[in-house]
Amino acid sequence: MVVSERSGRGLKAWRTGHRNEWLAALYLMFKGYQILGFRLKTPMAEIDILARKGRYLVVAEVKSRAHPDHARLSLLPDQQDRLLRAATRLSRSRPALRHLTPRLDLIALSPGRFPRHVRNLMSSGRTRFDP
């Protein structure tokens, strides 16, 4: 049946996405980030991972692609803007987060490769890949 195949593929994609978000969270924790939440729904966007490090409130978008560069290209500017606005709104609505500066990061996952962490996507159009 087409319906069962489609729902089976959807379930597989959901499981893969969920697993990738957990892998990305573990990677961030290894790097010293405090994980504050997963899959947070806001009026502007769904935040894959909300984390904190130092003075930053980090929205980490998790993308899995065949090559890490493809993951970076799949995060379009309007989505970047929505995610950063969602982080700003969260930081303003929660007293414990008000003093933190919102930042948008990308965790790019590719089969057989170490995760790539792109910090501060919105800063002057430049990105910095960290191994």
Using pLDDT thresholds of 50, 70 and 90, give the confidence band for residue 126. Answer: very low
How far apart are the C-alpha atoms of 11 and 124, rounded to whole Å? 38
Residue matched to tokens 């493809």: 70
Question: Which residue(s) pair with 108 in the sheet?
Answer: 63, 116
- 3-class secondary-structure state, position 105: strand
Q: What is the pLDDT of residue 4?
A: 54
Using pLDDT thresholds of 50, 70 and 90, give the confidence band for residue 123. Answer: low
* pLDDT tens track for 1-16: 444 555 667 888 778 7
Dihedral (CA of 3, 6, 9, 10) sign: negative
Sorted by where each begins, the domain ranges of the chain are: 2-130
Tokens of 21: 């978000």
Question: What are the residue ranges of helices labelled H in the chain?
Answer: 2-30, 68-74, 77-93
* DSSP count for the chain of H helices, then E strands: 3, 6
* pLDDT tens track for 95-117: 999 999 999 999 999 888 889 99
Cβ proximity of 60 and 24 under 8 Å:
yes
Mean per-residue pLDDT, 30-54: 94
Maximum C-alpha span of the chain:
53
**pLDDT tops 50 at residue 122:** yes
Q: What is the pLDDT of residue 6?
A: 54
* pLDDT tens track for 47-94: 999 999 999 999 999 998 887 778 777 888 899 999 999 999 988 889
- pLDDT top residue among 67 and 30: 30
How far apart are the C-alpha atoms of 46 and 82, rounded to whole Å? 9
CATH number 3.40.50.720 is the correct assignment for the domain at 2-130: no
